[in-house]
Structure 1
Amino acid sequence: MAERQFGPYRLIRQIAVGGMAEIHLAKTAGIAGFEKYVALKMIHPNFAEDDQFIQMLVDEAKIAVQLTHGNIAQTFDLGRVGETYYITMEYVDGADLYKILRRASEQDIEMPLDVCAFIGKEVASALDHAHRKRDHTGRSLGIVHRDVSPQNVLVSYSGEVKLVDFGIAKATMKVRQTAVGVIKGKYYYMSPEQAWGDPIDHRSDIFSAGIVLYEMTPRRSARRACCAAACRPSSSAS
């Protein structure tokens, strides 16, 4: 895709695309040759006028902008160009943990345990900050990420670890709350309560982070065990 102007930002290249949104490497320019690179997330054109998707993006921005921590990708801006809503975030020059683990598996390389422990510690630090966050009145924001998974853990080429994507996060400030019984997130990394559609709190994120840490360790895959644990026993079982 050729570079193009998008409001005050210059879109350089597409980084990722999903069912709801697409993410671009973008830059903004200032005086005297000043430039800043950011990750720009915009609603997919197919959903640009869908109120539900717009509100999800707005909620994500409002939650993420509250969080200032070295292990959480910072959110800078929420805006709209024409009918397209977008948010800009810190650009992390690296790869997500899913791609790292997949490449290691393809090359039959085991991730060293000290590296696994370091990444796990950094993710835990990010979650601890989010879970403890309070508003200006001292009230807990009740943030639960709900999608802690390798795809949402970025590792920069300089060794930084960043938790990203609060797009389906639960928080008291959200305009639209997810109804009980509605399941959001990746099944492989959900706590049993989340997979059942039951009410959850910060402990669900801790469970998911544990699954991620377990999968990083050599020759491990928690997916089969996780799926089995998420199956509610039949009421007719003895």
Structure 2
Amino acid sequence: HRPVRRLSAGGIAEVFVTPPARDDGGTEMIAIKRIRPHLRGVAEACELFTHEATLLGALAHPGIVRALDVSAAAREGWFTLELVHGRGLVEVVRRAERVGVRMPLRHAIGIVAATAEALEHAHVQPGPDRKPLEVVHCDVSPANLMLAYDGSVKLVDFGAAQSRLRRANSRALPNAGTLAYMSPEQSRGEAVDRRSDVYALGVLLWELATWSRLYRRLGPEQIIARVAVGAVPLPSQLRADIPSELEDVIMIAVQPTRERRFANAGELARALRRLSGAEDRRGLDAWLRRVFH
């Protein structure tokens, strides 16, 4: 594969646009993820990279970026993915702010509900031994969500994920997870489970619904202190027209004690779908075109 253009770069790997291999028979451009050259001999970096490839190879859901070929991940340090034709959620939010177009509530709900459904698949999907992989993404944030031009939502980058195949101390990985979206238990370096991803979804929905950053202008230590005590204000304090039913869902998701949150991402998704019906699935593609006209 011959990389054409770099799409993104993280601490361990980089993602490029590339043509398909000659023997694949395809014509559309794809994405290739490669471990950074200086990390190819670092055991933990290679383990993380191979673990991500293994997980993506096992997951198959329309809301998760699709792995195409993971066979060379351990041996050669690369694997290929579908190329999502769309925009990252970070870019979408920034552009919308710049042009003065606010995201309607139905789209905020739809984005988070779709992501919750994708995470529910990851949480329960079995591995080769038919036992659940128990995947926890650990880095659900706008930086890892793509909005495709057809209106679909894609969760990407499982590089920080934990699973039954690999557990880790969260605090031992300072770049694992965007701090503002970490659950209290993850920020303390404790064991995480699917409810940590539910917390991140709650923060994401809080921000999309209020058009605000939850921890704007706060440093890492201040964020950790706020997260630890559950200092999440009611969305209605920032936006008076938020329905009380939606506010209730958000505040359950961001409970500081995991036992008081939704038990799993599927439960959160169903609560959101009940609020919005089918409306959240319509018009996101048109809204994206309006933002990037």
Q: Please give the range of the TM-score, normalised by the shorter of the 2 chains.
A: 0.7 to 0.9
Amino acid at match of 1:123: T
The 8 Å contact of residues 78 and 85 in structure 1, kept in 2 or not, is answered as: no
Q: Identify the range of structure 1 (42-51 vs 154-163) with the bigger mean alpha-carbon deviation.
A: 42-51
> Residue 58 of structure 2 corresponds to which residue in structure 1?
66
Counterpart CA distance in 1 for 2:163 and 2:116 is 18
Determine which of 151, 158, 172 is the counterpart of 2:143: 151
Distance 1:32 1:200 in 2: 39
Deviations 1:175-207 (A, max 9, x none): xx3136435211100011111111110000011
Change (3 A) 1:80 1:214: same
Gap runs ≥5 in structure 2? 231-293
CA-CA distance at 1:101 after TM superposition:
0.7
Matches within 5 A, 1:197-216: 197-216=189-208
Shift of 1:134: 1.9
Match of 1:179 in 2: 169
Give 2:168's aligned amino acid.
T
Is the contact between residue 171 and residue 187 of structure 2 (CA under 8 Å) also seen in structure 1?
Answer: no
Moved more, 128-137 or 84-93: 128-137
The CA distance in 1 between the partners of 2:53 and 2:200, in whole Å, is 22
- Aligned counterpart for 2:159 among listed residues 167, 174, 182: 167
Match in the other structure for 2:279: none
Contact 1:192–1:229, Cα closer than 8 Å, also in 2 = no
How many Å separate the matches in 1 of 2:181 and 2:90?
13
Q: Percent identity?
A: 32
1:49 to 1:230, Cα distance in 2 relative to 1, 3 A:
same
Contact kept? 1:196, 1:232, Cα under 8 Å: no
Q: 2:8 aligns with which of 5, 16, 27?
A: 16
Evaluate the alpha carbon distance shift between residue 14 and residue 232 of structure 1 in structure 2; reply closer, same or farther with a 3 A threshold: same
Structure 1 residue 229 corresponds to structure 2 residue 219: no
Deviation at 1:223, TM superposition (A): 2.2
Worse-superposed segment, 224-233 or 110-119: 224-233
Q: Which residue of 1 aligns with 2:46?
A: 54
User: Who is 2:95 aligned against?
Assistant: 103
Alpha-carbon deviation of 1:146? 0.2
Please state if 1:132 is matched with 2:124: yes
Amino acid at match of 1:195: S
1 or 2, which has the higher strand percentage?
1
- Tell me the equivalent position of 1:5: none
Q: Is the 8 A contact 1:25 1:37 kept in 2?
A: yes
- 1:44 Cα deviation from its structure 2 partner: 1.4
Q: CA deviation at 1:219?
A: 2.9
Give CA deviations for 1:98-126 in whole Å, capped at 9, x if unaligned: 11111112223211111111111110110
Provide runs of 4+ in structure 1 moved above 3 Å.
29-34
Q: Which secondary structure state, in structure 2, belongs to the residue aligned with residue 63 of structure 1?
A: helix
Number of residue-to-residue matches in the alignment:
222
Q: Quickly say closer, same or farther: Cα 1:213–1:31, change in 2 above 3 A.
A: same
CA distance in 1, matches of 2:40, 2:127: 30
Q: Between Structure 1 and Structure 2, which shows a larger proportion of helix residues?
A: 2
The answer to whether 1:193 aligns with 2:200 is no
Q: 1:159 to 1:137 in 2, by over 3 A?
A: same
In angstroms, what is the RMSD of aligned CA positions? 2.5
**Mind listing any 5+ residue stretches in structure 1 that lack a counterpart?**
1-8, 234-238
Q: What do the CA deviations read for 1:60-96 (whole angstroms, capped 9, x no partner)?
A: 0001111100100011223559x85111111101111
**1:155 counterpart SS class:** strand
Distance in 2 (CA, whole Å) between partners of 1:31 and 1:191 is 44
